[in-house]
Structure 1
Amino acid sequence: MPAVSSRLPVFPWDKLEPYKATAAAHPDGIVDLSVGTPVDPVPELIRKALVAAADSPGYPTVWGTPALRDALVSWVERRLGAANVAHTNVLPVVGSKELVAWLPTQLGLGAGDRIAYPRLAYPTYEVGARLCGATPVVYDDPTELDPAGLRLLWLNSPSNPTGRVLDKDELTRIVAWAREHDVLVLSDECYLELGWEAEPVSVLHPDVCGGSYTGVVAVHSLSKRSNLAGYRAAFVAGDADVLGELLKIRKHGGMMTPAPVQAATVAALGDDTHVTEQRARYAARRTALRTALESHGFRIEHSEASLYLWATRDEPCWDTVAYLAGLGILVAPGDFYGEAGERFVRVAFTATDERVEAAVKRLG
C-alpha cells in the first residue's frame, strides 16, 4: 500500500531540534518561544467541572450534550455577535487541528478539487488538502483566485503566524465573492479573543455574513483563551447543512469529545473572568518581548493580534534562529509557514513570566 505520509511535507518541527539543543545548553536554560503552547494553569472552575464529570462510564455523543450545545450557541451569540443561532449551527470537535486536517476528507473533496489558504499560514491547511488528494493553492487576496474547481477557502484572522487581522470590510467582500462562486468559507478564528491593536471580527457577525450562515463556517478553540490545549476542546459554528453533514460522518467515525471535556467546555465558555486575567498575562509578556526585540534591532510587522510577534532582522530566518539559539532563545523560523516567511521568525509570548524575563535580559 502506498504510504499516505508520502503526500505530506516533512514535519517542520523536527528541523528545529538541533537549535533546541543549542538553546538548551545556555547556562540559564532554554527560553522556548517556538511552539506557543500554553504554560499557565487551567482555571480552577474548569478543573472542577472536569473532575465533577469524571464518573462518565458511558459513551459521549458526537454532537455533545444539550448543555454543551446551549453553551456553544450562547457564546457564539454573545461573543461573536451572531444572531438566531440554533443547535444545528454548532458542533464540538476534538481539537481544532484535527478538524483542519480532516475536514476536506470528511466533506468528500479529492483529486480535481482546489483548496486555498493564505500564502503565510498554519501548515495544517496544506496538510488537509494533501491528505484528501486535492490541490493546495496559496493566495494574497482570495478574490483574485480563479474560482474554477475551488471548493474550500480557508481564512485565518487573527493570523498564525503574522497576527494580521482582516477587518470587517475585507471579510464582507471575501464572503460575498465566495458565495458568488459557490466556494465554502472556513474561517479559523482561534485567536479571536486575543486582539491587541485591532478588534477581530468573526465571519458569523451579521455585518459580514448578512445574517445568513450559508456557505460560512467559523472554527474556534479553547486552547489559547482558556489554557486548554491539553483538553482538545474546540468547535465549529455556521452553515447548518455543512455541520449536519460533518455530524453524520463524525458519528460513523466515532469522533467524540470526551464527556468530562464537554462539561469543562461548558464551564469555560460561561466565564469571562479567566479570559480577561489570561489576556492581561499575555499583554504584559507581549509588551516586554516586543520592547526587547525592537531594542535589539528587530523589526516587528503586523502582530496586532494572536500570541506571536512576527519579527525580522532582514536576514534568512534560519540565521536568526541560530543567532537566538546562541542566546538560549528558541523561536520558529518563518518558512515553516510558507516561502514568504523566509526572512522572519515567529516569537511566541506563551512562556512563563520568569522565562520571558530571562529572554528580555539576554536581549538587553
Structure 2
Amino acid sequence: MGTVSSRLPVFPWDRLEPYKSTAAAYADGIVDLSVGTPVDPVPALVRSALTDAADSPGYPTVWGTAALRDAITGWAGKRLGATDLEHTNVLPVVGSKELVAWLPTQLGLGAGDRVAYPRLAYPTYEVGARLAGAEPVVYDDPWELDPAGLKLLWLNSPSNPTGRVLSADELRRTVAWAREHGVLLFSDECYIELGWEADPVSVLHPDVCGGSYDGIVAVHSLSKRSNLAGYRAAFLVGDAEVLGELLLIRKHGGMMIPAPVQAATVAALGDTEHVGEQRERYARRRTALREALEAAGFRVEHSEASLYLWATRDESCWDTVGDLAKRGILVAPGDFYGSAGEHFVRVAFTATDERVDEAVRRLAQ
C-alpha cells in the first residue's frame, strides 16, 4: 500500500535550499524575496486583543464566537459589498492553507472526481486534490473546462503568483458557468486588500453573484492584510449549505481557531487604519523593486495586485534564481506554480525597507 505522501509532488521549497545557501554567503547577508512572509509588526491593537484574551482555559468552538461571526459578516459587507449575510454564511478556518489542502477531502471528493485550478497557481490547490485521491485539472479560462466529473473549481484573484486580477465580467461569467453545470466554486481572495493597478472585486459582490451565494464560497485571510501569518487567522464566506456541512465535519476534526486568536481577528477586522499603513509600506517597496528589476533587464507581467512581482528575462527560471542568488537575492522560481511559469520568477516585496533597499543596490551592480 502506497503512502499518502507518495501522491504528492516534491515540496517545492526544499528545492530552493542550495540557492538559499549561496545567497546567505553573500557579503552583508541574504535578501530573501522568495516566500513572501510578513516581516512588519503585528498591529498594536491586535496584540492587545490577543493578550487581553490570553486567560482562555476552556475549549474554543469551531464556528467561533458570536463576536467573531459578527466581525466577519460586518467586514464582508463593508469591504466586499456582500449583502444580507447571516452567521450561517461564515466559517472561521485555521489559516487558508489548511483549508485549501483539506477542502476536497472534507467535501468527500475522491477517485473519479476532478478539481480545477488556474494553470499558474498556488501549489496547494493541486495538493488538496491529490490528498483526496481526486484528479487535479488546470485551466486557462474556467468556462472552457469539461464539466464532466468536475466537483470543485478554484478561482484565485488577485493571483498568486502572477498578481493578475479577474474582472467583474470574468467572475460573473465563471459563476454563471459553474452554476449551470453544478460545479462548486471556491474563490481564493486572500490578496483582495492589495490591489495596486486594479481594484479587485469579490465573487460575493452582487454584481458578480446576483445577490445569491448558491454554489459559491470566498476564502479570506488576515495573514497579508494585517501581518497575522503567525496567528493562522482566516475565514470563509458564502453558501450556507456548504459551510454548514464543513462546520459539521470540522467539529469532528477539532479544527478550532484558538480563542485569543479569535479575539485578535475581531480587532483586526474592525480596524482599517493599520491596513492603510501596511499598504503604504508595500507600495513603497513594490515601486522600488519594480524599477530596479526593469532597469536590470527584467520584464514584469501582470502584478497589478498581491505582494509579488512576476518577472522574466526570457530564460530558465532556475538560471534567474541562480544568478540572483550569487548577488545575495533569493526569489521563487516560476515553475513552482506550474510549467507555464518556467521562464519567470516571483519576487516578493515583503522584506524590510532596509533589505529592499539592499536588493535595489545589488540589482544595479
* TM-score in terms of structure 1 length: 1.00
1:259-298 correspondence runs (5 A): 259-298=259-298
Q: Does 1:199 align with 2:199?
A: yes
Paired residue for 1:164?
164
CA–CA distance in 1 between the matches of 2:169 and 2:234?
27
CA–CA distance in 2 between the matches of 1:146 and 1:327?
46
User: 2:207 is matched by which residue type in structure 1?
Assistant: D
Paired residue for 2:133?
133
Paired residue for 2:299?
299
Paired residue for 2:308?
308
CA–CA distance in 1 between the matches of 2:82 and 2:345?
35
CA–CA distance in 1 between the matches of 2:113 and 2:296?
46
Cα deviation for residue 157 of structure 1 reads 0.1
Paired residue for 1:10?
10
Paired residue for 1:69?
69
CA–CA distance in 1 between the matches of 2:90 and 2:75?
11
Paired residue for 2:90?
90
User: 2:351 is matched by which residue type in structure 1?
Assistant: A
Indicate the SS of the match to 2:202: coil
Paired residue for 1:319?
319
CA–CA distance in 2 between the matches of 1:97 and 1:146?
27
Q: Does 1:354 align with 2:360?
A: no
CA–CA distance in 2 between the matches of 1:129 and 1:2?
17
Indicate the SS of the match to 2:218: strand
User: 2:253 is matched by which residue type in structure 1?
Assistant: G
CA–CA distance in 1 between the matches of 2:352 and 2:27?
18
Indicate the SS of the match to 2:130: helix
Paired residue for 2:106?
106
Cα deviation for residue 3 of structure 1 reads 1.0
CA–CA distance in 2 between the matches of 1:70 and 1:144?
38
Indicate the SS of the match to 2:137: strand
Q: Provide, for residues 65-100 of structure 1, a one-character-per-residue CA deviation record: whole Å limited to 9, x for no partner.
A: 000000000001000000000000000000000000
1:241-260 correspondence runs (5 A): 241-260=241-260
Paired residue for 2:345?
345
Paired residue for 1:210?
210
Cα deviation for residue 2 of structure 1 reads 2.8
CA–CA distance in 2 between the matches of 1:284 and 1:109?
43
Paired residue for 1:123?
123
CA–CA distance in 1 between the matches of 2:325 and 2:2?
38
CA–CA distance in 2 between the matches of 1:61 and 1:28?
47
Indicate the SS of the match to 1:300: strand
User: 2:66 is matched by which residue type in structure 1?
Assistant: P
Q: Provide, for residues 43-71 of structure 1, a one-character-per-residue CA deviation record: whole Å limited to 9, x for no partner.
A: 00000000000000000000000000000
Q: For this pair of structures, how many residues does the alignment match?
A: 364
Q: Does 1:27 align with 2:27?
A: yes
CA–CA distance in 2 between the matches of 1:185 and 1:2?
31
User: 1:287 is matched by which residue type in structure 2?
Assistant: T
CA–CA distance in 2 between the matches of 1:55 and 1:103?
32
Q: Does 1:231 align with 2:231?
A: yes
Paired residue for 1:52?
52
Cα deviation for residue 280 of structure 1 reads 0.1
Cα deviation for residue 28 of structure 1 reads 1.1
Q: Does 1:37 align with 2:49?
A: no
Cα deviation for residue 179 of structure 1 reads 0.2
Q: Provide, for residues 173-222 of structure 1, a one-character-per-residue CA deviation record: whole Å limited to 9, x for no partner.
A: 00000000000000000000000000000000000000000000000000
CA–CA distance in 2 between the matches of 1:248 and 1:107?
11
Q: Provide, for residues 286-317 of structure 1, a one-character-per-residue CA deviation record: whole Å limited to 9, x for no partner.
A: 00000000000000000000000000000000
* TM-score in terms of structure 2 length: 0.99
CA–CA distance in 1 between the matches of 2:182 and 2:308?
33
Paired residue for 1:177?
177
